[in-house]
């Protein structure tokens, strides 16, 4: 027998299995309900876009763009490994699959030849990337569909996977999931920022993610930030020798990011740096003051954090993050902020924007760790049928109960009574419905509550009524 490769999910990706997936569905469903109550509509976006869309939006110097994007030429899956010398494709593919099987090798060879032909036909490569985030895509869609011509602000939400090639650890994956919301339009009223934050916290509250802290900041705009960044750079150059390599590099490329550093030795140095709050222009200062007023009006608790600069370049003025307990170092469950001007940067009309993205993976971890996860669904009724003559009745009743919205397990083959009830127990069913030939003849069935063994004899007509009344309790 030839050796078979044991396939596993790629590092940093994972399967969400039942019953966890029920929790994920509930979480996403609750987001939809809350967001729609704030008049947001869902936008479904592609999972890959032109690489340059992300590079231009997020910034060429951002780690996400420099190090973390999954990018490939849009020629076919295997072109990733093509090199200038050509011919290397086959070698790399063969190695990566560890082919031991001649048939497979032959198929692959054929495939590579087809691929090669198509490569030379199509000419220069166009790079695409799996989306590392979706704000850029929303802005691209806003422009593409001329949404500025629609009435009012565009309030959009999205749910789905994002991809970043980060070092995997608890709460950090290479394929992770976000629920995001964005408001795009002509107004940058701080009430919009506050409403977006209110919606976020109403949602967190609804799903039991309550041990959270909201941090807010203003990072200024194109009128005041460049001067601040220059000042920061000058101050950082003075202490360069005391900083670690990453921060040293950032002094020139992106000094704001130094403020993000978590390295203990750098903390006392950073604390002494000039703060953006002392260098905001009049308009940004007024915007931030009004935002805080609006948050107070809505009784939203927050902490100001002058070091909250965020890792994506498109932000202006308001930035925010929510952290939650039980997550260790990866404790940000949501990040967001204002990005006035991003649409313009992508070739669209002058437009204001604000939004956030919730990390679903981390949020669910935190809810689970706090013990706040709801008990969801589960199997309501296991039908223990015996004797071929009772099978048609079992099929019929299963369909009726399912139509009434109950989760029902109907064993596909006859089983011994004891074994059948044992399985019902193991599956976590709340009830076993016993259907034997006597029950079919009398049209009354035994319903056994598995938690305490309580049994009831019920006519077919009473069965549904009883189960529904139990469900309401």
Closer residue to ligand HAM (CB): 135 or 154? 135
DSSP state of 274: P
Closest approach of Cβ 361 to ligand HAM, in Å?
5
Rounded distance between C-alpha atoms, residue 364 and residue 21, angstroms: 11
Strand 332-338 vs strand 381-385: parallel, antiparallel, or unpaired?
Answer: unpaired
Rounded distance between C-alpha atoms, residue 228 and residue 87, angstroms: 51
Closer residue to ligand HAM (CB): 101 or 260? 260
* # binding residues, ligand HAM (CB under 6 A): 25
Which position has the token pair 């420099």?
Answer: 66
- 62 touches ligand HAM (CB under 6 A): no
Closest approach of Cβ 354 to ligand HAM, in Å?
7
- Residues 156-215 close enough to bind ligand HAM by CB under 6 A: 164, 166, 171-173, 176, 178, 180, 182
**Residue from 334, 365, 408, 433 that binds ligand HAM (CB under 6 A)?**
334
Closer residue to ligand HAM (CB): 166 or 195? 166
For residue 444, list its beta bridge partners: 459
Rounded distance between C-alpha atoms, residue 28 and residue 16, angstroms: 14
Residue 122 tokens read as: 């199509």
Closer residue to ligand HAM (CB): 75 or 172? 172
Closer residue to ligand HAM (CB): 335 or 436? 335
- 78 touches ligand HAM (CB under 6 A): no
Beta carbons of 357 and 334 less than 8 angstroms apart: yes
DSSP state of 172: B
Closer residue to ligand HAM (CB): 255 or 335? 335
Closest approach of Cβ 419 to ligand HAM, in Å?
43
**Residue from 332, 379, 423, 464 that binds ligand HAM (CB under 6 A)?**
332
- 140 touches ligand HAM (CB under 6 A): no
**Which H/E stretch holds residue 184?**
strand 175-185
Closest approach of Cβ 178 to ligand HAM, in Å?
5
Closer residue to ligand HAM (CB): 319 or 393? 319
Choose among 164, 194, 192, 188: nearest CA to 176: 164
Closest approach of Cβ 371 to ligand HAM, in Å?
21
- Helix, coil or strand: residue 177: strand
Closest approach of Cβ 118 to ligand HAM, in Å?
33
- 337 touches ligand HAM (CB under 6 A): yes
Closest approach of Cβ 219 to ligand HAM, in Å?
13
Closest approach of Cβ 336 to ligand HAM, in Å?
4
DSSP state of 412: S
Closest approach of Cβ 151 to ligand HAM, in Å?
22
DSSP state of 133: -
Closer residue to ligand HAM (CB): 69 or 334? 334
Residue 259 tokens read as: 């403020």
Closest approach of Cβ 435 to ligand HAM, in Å?
47
Choose among 320, 256, 333, 334: nearest CA to 291: 320
For residue 411, count other CB atoms closer than 10 A to its CB.
16
Closer residue to ligand HAM (CB): 341 or 411? 341
**Which H/E stretch holds residue 439?**
helix 437-442
- Residues 358-387 close enough to bind ligand HAM by CB under 6 A: 359, 361-362
Give residue number: closest CB to ligand HAM. 359
Rounded distance between C-alpha atoms, residue 134 and residue 157, angstroms: 10
Strand 212-218 vs strand 154-163: parallel, antiparallel, or unpaired?
Answer: unpaired
Integer CA distances (angstroms), 308 to 186, 193, 256, 274, 303, in order: 26, 16, 9, 14, 11
Closest approach of Cβ 323 to ligand HAM, in Å?
9
Rounded distance between C-alpha atoms, residue 410 and residue 361, angstroms: 33
**Which H/E stretch holds residue 317?**
strand 316-324
- 59 touches ligand HAM (CB under 6 A): no
Residue 364 tokens read as: 């669910």
Question: x-or-dash pattern for ligand HAM, window 98-137, by CB under 6 A?
Answer: -----------------------------------x-x--
Interface positions with ligand HAM (CB under 6 A): 133, 135, 164, 166, 171-173, 176, 178, 180, 182, 312, 332-337, 339, 355-357, 359, 361-362
């Amino acid at each position: 027998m030839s050796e078979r490769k044991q396939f596993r999910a790629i590092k940093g990706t994972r399967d969400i299995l039942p019953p966890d997936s029920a929790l994920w569905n509930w979480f996403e469903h609750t987001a939809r309900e809350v967001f729609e109550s704030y008049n947001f509509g869902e936008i479904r976006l592609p999972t890959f876009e032109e690489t340059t869309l992300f590079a231009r939006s997020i910034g060429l110097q951002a780690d996400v763009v420099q190090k973390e994007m999954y990018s490939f030429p849009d020629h076919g899956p295997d072109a990733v490994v093509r090199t200038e010398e050509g011919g290397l494709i086959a070698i790399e593919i063969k190695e990566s699959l560890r082919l031991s099987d001649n048939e497979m090798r032959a198929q692959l060879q054929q495939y590579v030849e087809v691929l090669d032909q198509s490569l030379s036909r199509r000419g220069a490569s166009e790079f695409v990337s799996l989306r590392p985030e979706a704000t850029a895509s929303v802005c691209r869609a806003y422009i593409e569909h001329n949404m500025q011509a629609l009435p009012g602000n565009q309030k959009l939400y999205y749910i789905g996977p994002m991809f970043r090639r980060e070092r995997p650890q608890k709460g950090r994956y290479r394929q992770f999931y976000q629920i995001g919301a964005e408001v795009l339009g002509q107004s940058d009223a701080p009430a919009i920022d506050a409403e977006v934050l209110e919606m976020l916290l109403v949602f967190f509250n609804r799903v039991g993610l309550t041990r959270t802290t909201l941090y807010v900041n203003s990072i200024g705009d194109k009128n005041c930030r460049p001067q601040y960044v220059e000042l920061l750079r000058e101050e950082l150059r003075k202490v360069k020798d005391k900083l670690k390599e990453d921060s040293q590099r950032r002094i020139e490329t992106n000094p704001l990011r130094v403020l993000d550093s978590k390295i203990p030795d750098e903390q006392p140095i950073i604390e002494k740096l000039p703060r953006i709050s002392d260098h905001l222009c009049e308009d940004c200062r007024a915007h931030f003051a009004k935002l805080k007023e609006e948050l107070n009006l809505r009784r939203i608790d927050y902490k100001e954090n002058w070091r909250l600069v965020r890792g994506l370049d498109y932000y202006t003025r308001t930035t925010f993050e929510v952290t939650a307990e039980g997550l260790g170092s990866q404790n940000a469950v949501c990040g967001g902020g204002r990005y006035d001007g991003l649409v313009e940067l992508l070739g669209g009309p002058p437009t204001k924007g604000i939004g956030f993205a919730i990390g679903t993976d981390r949020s669910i971890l935190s809810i689970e760790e706090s013990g706040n996860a709801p008990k969801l669904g589960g199997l309501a009724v296991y039908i223990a049928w015996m004797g071929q003559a009772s099978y048609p009745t079992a099929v019929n009743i299963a369909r009726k109960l399912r139509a009434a919205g109950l989760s029902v397990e109907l064993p596909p083959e006859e089983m011994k009574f004891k074994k059948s009830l044992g399985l019902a127990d193991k599956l976590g069913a709340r009830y076993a419905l016993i259907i034997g030939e006597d029950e079919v003849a009398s049209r009354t069935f035994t319903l056994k509550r598995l938690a305490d063994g309580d049994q009831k004899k019920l006519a077919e007509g009473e069965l549904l009524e009883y189960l529904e009344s139990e469900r309401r309790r």
